[in-house]
């Protein structure tokens, strides 16, 4: 394929059901791309989480190879000390490094994880992990000054797990409109061959407003000012995409992709509370409702396993010689992991319903692992239930996320649209869905730097 400029528009957490079906008649710019190219679902990685999923897409490597298993990683030799997976965690060259090797310039906006920003052959604005724009958030640093001179204010993220919905919605819409304004300015005024923009606002708006458009949601509300919040936000995205396509020019290959999908959250399951009840996690006394593990009186010399909450549960075994007060002998590790996984798979829902729970070891899903891997990765009821790490609740089943109001969870399948100005990508890509890891090779091909 001949060398082309490539524009990648990342819609964090985009839902195939909403984008391709429920709102399809309302999104003319996305439909134009679909009509002229390939479109379908993108199968995310294990785990389907923003970090590492975007880097799987842009490196072609598994999370295990990247050593990224979520937003944070455990510091080896500790129980709960963690390190945020930021840009310094990435040890594998991403797509833009390969493009630079071919002499191509890149423009990157909000690609997780890109804080702190680092040197690229082109321009970079760091991602939602950016603590604030009062510190360096661009490469080169002068780009921040240029944006300020153009009166283009960059907002990395907004708070979305809070009760004031009107404030959340207004902030999200303003942030996203501002992101596209910056993207259009850079697409028109700066040289580039590869342009990647990831919009985090879609993830936030779905977490905050899913319940208002989904009658199947257990907290469904109708007749509120937010009934059309999601629909209107998708229309805002489509409008921004149309403006960015125009700024990029007609001779540009385009990919619209998401790192994972989204669906309604059914609740949160208290994994540490369950481990304590089953005798895996020992406590020295009662704990108050909502107690975090790091604040709980854990009797580590009598504890066999503990877990972390999140979209999935990371479960660690307390192994002799690995943990400070390990109790499981290394030769017993495999048997203990297998027995615990089997017991977890039998967990049922609050009404006794059978769950589709997946409990796997890293060696089952990765060809190679780096960093501090969890011993078990648990996805409760096909991701419909979050894992809650806190304890002391009246029930193991919580209606809400234990870290704040939240309506949605991640889903395994996101969206993909691949468009080329001269090639019918619908015929070229003969697949119903694309594994997220394979997008890297497609981007390389679209850029014409495969050799």
If pLDDT is split at 50, 70 and 90, which confidence band does 3 have?
low
- Indicate if the pLDDT at residue 129 is higher than 90: yes
Is the distance from CB of 360 to CB of 281 less than 8 angstroms?
Answer: no
- Indicate if the pLDDT at residue 4 is higher than 90: no
The per-residue pLDDT for range 256-281, each reduced to its tens digit, is: 999 999 999 999 999 999 999 999 99
Report if pTM > 0.85: yes
Q: Three-state DSSP class for 209?
A: helix
- Name the maximum alpha-carbon separation found in the chain: 68
The per-residue pLDDT for range 113-128, each reduced to its tens digit, is: 999 999 999 999 999 9
Residues in the chain: 451
The continuous run of DSSP H or E covering 149 comes out as helix 142-149
The per-residue pLDDT for range 291-346, each reduced to its tens digit, is: 999 999 999 999 999 999 999 999 999 999 999 999 999 999 999 999 999 999 99
Tally of CB atoms within 10 A around 326: 17
Ranges assigned E (strand) in 296-341: 305-308, 313-317
Distance separating alpha carbons of residues 317 and 307, to the nearest angstrom: 9
The per-residue pLDDT for range 93-107, each reduced to its tens digit, is: 999 999 999 999 999
The per-residue pLDDT for range 50-92, each reduced to its tens digit, is: 999 999 999 999 999 999 999 998 988 899 889 899 999 999 9
If pLDDT is split at 50, 70 and 90, which confidence band does 163 have?
confident
If pLDDT is split at 50, 70 and 90, which confidence band does 438 have?
very high
DSSP 109: E
Instruction: Tell me the percentage of the chain whose pLDDT exceeds 70.
Output: 99
> Residue 60: left (phi > 0), alpha (psi -120 to 50), or beta?
left
Residue, of 239 and 83, whose pLDDT is higher: 239
Nearest alpha carbon to residue 386 among 315, 314, 311: 311
β-strand pairing of 358-360 with 376-379: antiparallel
If pLDDT is split at 50, 70 and 90, which confidence band does 450 have?
confident
The mean of the pLDDT values for the chain is 96
Q: What is the dihedral of CA 195, 122, 447, 438, to 10 degrees?
A: -70
Q: What is the mean pLDDT of residues 176-197?
A: 98
Q: What is the mean pLDDT of residues 242-264?
A: 97
- Indicate if the pLDDT at residue 451 is higher than 70: no
- Indicate if the pLDDT at residue 2 is higher than 70: no
Distance separating alpha carbons of residues 124 and 126, to the nearest angstrom: 6
User: Which pLDDT value is given to residue 404?
Assistant: 82
Beta bridge partners of 83: 73
């Amino acid at each position: 394929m001949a060398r082309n400029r490539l524009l990648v528009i990342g819609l964090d957490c985009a839902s195939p059901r909403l984008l391709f079906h429920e709102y399809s008649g309302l999104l003319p710019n996305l439909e134009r791309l679909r009509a002229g190219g390939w479109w379908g679902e993108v199968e995310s990685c294990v785990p389907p989480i923003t970090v590492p999923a975007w880097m799987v897409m842009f490196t072609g490597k598994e999370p295990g190879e990247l050593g990224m298993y979520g937003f944070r990683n455990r510091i080896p030799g500790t129980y709960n000390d963690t390190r945020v997976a930021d840009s310094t965690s990435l040890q594998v060259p991403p797509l833009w490094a390969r493009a630079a090797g071919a002499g191509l310039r890149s423009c990157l906006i909000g690609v997780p994880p890109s804080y702190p920003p680092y040197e690229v052959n082109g321009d970079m604005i760091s991602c939602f992990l950016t603590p604030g724009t009062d510190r360096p958030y661009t490469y080169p640093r002068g780009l921040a000054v240029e944006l300020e001179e153009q009166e283009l204010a960059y907002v990395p993220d907004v708070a979305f797990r809070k009760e004031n919905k009107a404030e959340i919605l207004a902030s999200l819409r303003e942030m996203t409109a501002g992101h596209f304004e910056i993207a259009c300015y850079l697409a028109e005024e700066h040289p580039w061959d590869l342009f990647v923009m990831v919009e985090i606002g879609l993830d936030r708006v779905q977490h905050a407003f899913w319940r208002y458009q989904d009658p199947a949601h257990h907290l469904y509300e109708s007749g509120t000012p937010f009934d059309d919040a999601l629909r209107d936000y998708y229309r805002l995205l489509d409008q921004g995409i149309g403006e960015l396509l125009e700024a990029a020019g007609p001779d540009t290959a385009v990919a619209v992709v998401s790192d994972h999908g989204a669906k309604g959250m059914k609740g949160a399951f208290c994994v540490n509370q369950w481990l304590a009840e089953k005798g895996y996690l020992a406590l020295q006394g009662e704990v108050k409702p909502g107690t975090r593990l790091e604040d709980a009186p854990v009797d580590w010399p009598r504890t066999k396993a503990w877990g972390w909450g999140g979209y999935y549960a990371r479960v660690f075994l307390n192994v002799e010689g690995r943990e400070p007060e390990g109790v499981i002998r290394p030769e017993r590790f495999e048997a203990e992991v297998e027995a615990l996984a089997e017991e977890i798979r039998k967990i049922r829902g609050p009404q006794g319903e059978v769950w589709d729970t997946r409990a796997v070891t890293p060696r089952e899903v990765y060809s190679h692992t780096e960093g501090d891997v969890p011993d078990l990765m648990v996805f409760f009821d096909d991701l419909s239930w979050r894992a809650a790490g806190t304890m002391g609740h009246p029930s193991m089943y919580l209606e809400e996320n234990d870290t704040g109001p939240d309506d949605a969870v991640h889903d395994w399948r996101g969206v993909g649209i691949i468009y080329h100005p001269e090639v019918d990508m619908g015929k070229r890509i003969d697949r119903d869905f694309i594994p997220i890891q394979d997008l890297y090779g497609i981007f390389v091909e679209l850029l014409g730097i495969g050799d």
